[in-house]
Amino acid sequence: MFKKDITPSPKQKLKSSIQRNLRQSLLTTYPLLTPHIDDIIPKKASLEQIKLPDRVSLYVIDGTTPLFFQADTPSQQNTIVPHLKLVHRFPQCFPTIRIDRGAIRFVLSGATLMAPGLTSKGGRLPQPHERPPREKSAAEAENDEIEVPNEGADEEGHWSRELEKGEPVVVLAEGKEEACAVGVLVAGTKEIKEKGKGPVIEEAHFLGDGLWRMALD
């Protein structure tokens, strides 16, 4: 999706009502961000939209900090997908899968992520498991309506619940600390484990792609 350099359109400041809706949509899609939302979208900050080629909209804070994007494509369907720079700030807040070393060069070239890169010994797919109780954040303690799910990865990198088709997911890489890509699943993780073949993510935002390199200032 972002293999080539991108020439962005001028930034457009969003109405307060649209900003509130996007903020809520972000929390609905990624509830683990709830304790950090005021750091991500400060109440007095300006959320702006930048229209990109191929019916993609990028949202930035104060014109310089990319947060997330939406793509009106068959595989993305306007799902809110985080920019990798947001993922790197809050890595524990996004569902993850992990590719093996052999798949890294393919993902970083923009190729479709295929199941064998996840089902091998170096790959990681979710393994549902119970997690120890978590402490409520200050934001949760102040608002009883906020419910943050108790989910995350275990010590070996397995996410604690199965992920569904159409759900956004962060892609980690064997032997690397930071995420290398993010995209929307075209198959659920349970199906991926059962079949062991086929595409997993067709249009990913990856390290070094046009979106990553795009200058915002």
Q: What are the residues facing 89 on neighbouring strands?
A: none
The Cα 120–Cα 117 span in angstroms is 6
Provide the residue type at 19 as one letter. Answer: Q
Q: What pLDDT does 17 receive?
A: 92
pLDDT at residue 56 greater than cutoff 80: yes
- pLDDT above 90 covers what percent of the chain? 74
Q: For the chain, list the domains and their CATH numbers.
A: 12-130+154-213 (3.10.400.20)
Q: What pLDDT does 139 receive?
A: 66
Q: What pLDDT does 7 receive?
A: 85
Greater model confidence, 140 or 65? 65
pLDDT at residue 71 greater than cutoff 90: no
Q: What average pLDDT does range 81-105 have in this prediction? A: 97
Q: What pLDDT does 165 receive?
A: 96
Q: What pLDDT does 75 receive?
A: 65
Q: What pLDDT does 156 receive?
A: 93
> What would the pLDDT profile of 199-211 be if each residue is shown by its tens digit?
999 989 999 999 9
pLDDT at residue 140 greater than cutoff 70: no
Q: What pLDDT does 145 receive?
A: 62
Averaged confidence pLDDT in the chain:
91
> What would the pLDDT profile of 159-182 be if each residue is shown by its tens digit?
999 999 999 999 999 999 999 999
The Cα 28–Cα 204 span in angstroms is 21
pLDDT at residue 89 greater than cutoff 80: yes
The Cα 202–Cα 22 span in angstroms is 25
Q: What average pLDDT does range 29-47 have in this prediction? A: 92
How would DSSP label each residue in the chain?
Answer: ---S---PPPPEEPPHHHHHHHHHHHHHH-GGGGGGHHHHS-TTS-EEEEEETTTEEEEEETTTEEEEEEE-STTTTT--EE-HHHHHHSGGGS-EEEE-HHHHHHHTTTPPEETHHHHSTT-B----------PPPHHHHH-TT-------B-TTS-BSS---TT-EEEEEETT-SS--EEEE-SS-HHHHHHH--SEEESS-EETTSHHHH----
Greater model confidence, 42 or 99? 99
